[in-house]
């Protein structure tokens, strides 16, 4: 029982971290139709800038400043990069962000080196929030979950309650009409791209000190954010939220399951001895446990979903 509750808590925490990472990506895609391959690089940039600023001033100013700096950089990329290739279609935009990912990666290594940097959790948040059946729940994780939820609420409010948000929503489906009504749609696009990058930067500020801040930190997390975006439905923020919680649950619970195909078959009554020479094939696939496959299961989910329901959980149908 206690293990189940702890697993649930862990999965909630991990799911919210994934949401924090993929919120910006979904927002950019829903507005501009471009899948930002450099999203994970902006996440990394946010972490490194937060490290630099926290070394200079402190963590809390870094929490405010680093996402702003990353947002401004994102806006500049949109204004001088994406806008120039926009008229050529989606593929050149995609390629631009792909190249940008490499450029940012190399720049970070040139400035801060190739080794991990000691970006630490601030002393105020370093400790246990509460003790749950003997396992302590770190205060910083609670902080991460809070920021993720605030992010969701803030984006929702911005999109539905503010004037800018309403214009953004209108520009999603009727950009020419909105422009005819006198709104500056390219400027809106720049704001949205900058905002999405700022969200990635914020995720970096929060996640960089809990996880290791190193030049390859974006590479592994980049792929899982795409999975969340695809599973949730490209363009749907609610879908991204549900998908990230689902994937968090799936991955965390799977680690606890030590059953393999052989165990499952023996439950059904079919047992067999390993006829293969274990020296030639030391790890036959029927001995592979679900726990060993756990980090791969989200990708499996994505493949299954793309086959059965290509628009994702809450995505809009194409066309």
Q: Binding residues for other proteins, per CB under 8 A?
A: 3, 6-7, 10-11, 13-14, 17, 113-118, 120, 128, 131, 134-138, 140-141, 210-212, 214-216, 219-221, 251-252, 255-256, 282-283, 291-292, 294-296
User: Rounded to the nearest whole angstrom, what is the least distance from the CB of residue 212 to other proteins in the complex?
Assistant: 5
User: Rounded to the nearest whole angstrom, what is the least distance from the CB of residue 250 to other proteins in the complex?
Assistant: 11
User: Rounded to the nearest whole angstrom, what is the least distance from the CB of residue 49 to other proteins in the complex?
Assistant: 19
Of 70 and 217, which has the nearer Cβ to other proteins?
217
Q: Are 248 and 11 in contact (CB under 8 A)?
A: yes
Chain centroid to Cα 83, Å, comes to 25
Of 211 and 314, which has the nearer Cβ to other proteins?
211
Of 117 and 151, which has the nearer Cβ to other proteins?
117
How many other CB atoms are there within 10 angstroms of residue 44's CB atom?
Answer: 30
Q: Residue 20: which of 314, 228, 249 has the closest Cα?
A: 228
User: Rounded to the nearest whole angstrom, what is the least distance from the CB of residue 21 to other proteins in the complex?
Assistant: 10
Q: Provide the token pair at 8.
A: 């649930």
Of 265 and 291, which has the nearer Cβ to other proteins?
291
Of 106 and 184, which has the nearer Cβ to other proteins?
106
Using DSSP's 3-state secondary structure scheme, residue 33 falls into coil
User: Rounded to the nearest whole angstrom, what is the least distance from the CB of residue 141 to other proteins in the complex?
Assistant: 7
Cα-Cα end-to-end distance for the chain: 47
Q: Provide the token pair at 198.
A: 């700022």
Q: Provide the token pair at 317.
A: 């149908």
């Amino acid at each position: 029982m206690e293990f189940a509750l702890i697993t649930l808590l862990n999965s909630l925490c991990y799911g919210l971290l994934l949401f924090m990472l993929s919120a910006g990506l979904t927002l950019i895609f829903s507005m501009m139709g471009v899948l930002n391959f450099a999203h994970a690089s902006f996440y990394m940039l946010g972490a490194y800038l937060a490290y630099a600023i926290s070394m200079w001033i402190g963590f809390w100013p870094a929490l405010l400043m680093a996402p702003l700096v990353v947002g401004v950089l994102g806006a500049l990329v949109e204004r001088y990069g994406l806008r120039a290739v926009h008229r050529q279609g989606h593929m050149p935009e995609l390629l631009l962000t792909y190249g940008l990912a490499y450029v940012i990666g190399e720049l970070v290594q040139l400035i801060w080196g190739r080794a991990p940097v000691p970006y630490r959790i601030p002393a105020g948040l370093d400790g246990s929030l509460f003790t749950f059946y003997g396992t302590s729940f770190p205060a910083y994780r609670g902080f991460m979950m809070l920021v993720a939820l605030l992010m969701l609420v803030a984006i929702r409010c911005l999109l539905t309650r503010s004037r800018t948000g309403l214009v953004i929503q209108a520009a999603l489906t009727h950009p020419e009409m909105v422009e005819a009504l006198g709104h500056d749609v390219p400027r809106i696009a720049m704001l949205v791209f900058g905002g999405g990058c700022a969200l990635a930067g914020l995720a970096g500020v929060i996640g960089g000190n809990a996880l290791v801040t190193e030049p390859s930190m974006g590479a592994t997390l980049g792929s899982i954010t795409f999975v969340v975006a695809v599973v949730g439905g490209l363009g749907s923020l609610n879908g991204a939220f549900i998908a990230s919680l689902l994937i968090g649950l799936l991955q965390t619970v799977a680690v606890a399951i030590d059953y393999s195909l052989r165990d499952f078959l023996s439950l059904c009554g079919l047992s067999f001895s390993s006829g293969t020479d274990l020296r030639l094939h030391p790890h036959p696939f029927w001995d592979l446990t679900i726990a060993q496959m756990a980090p791969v299961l989200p990708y499996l989910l994505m493949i299954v979903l793309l086959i059965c329901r290509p628009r994702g959980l809450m995505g809009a149908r194409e066309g």
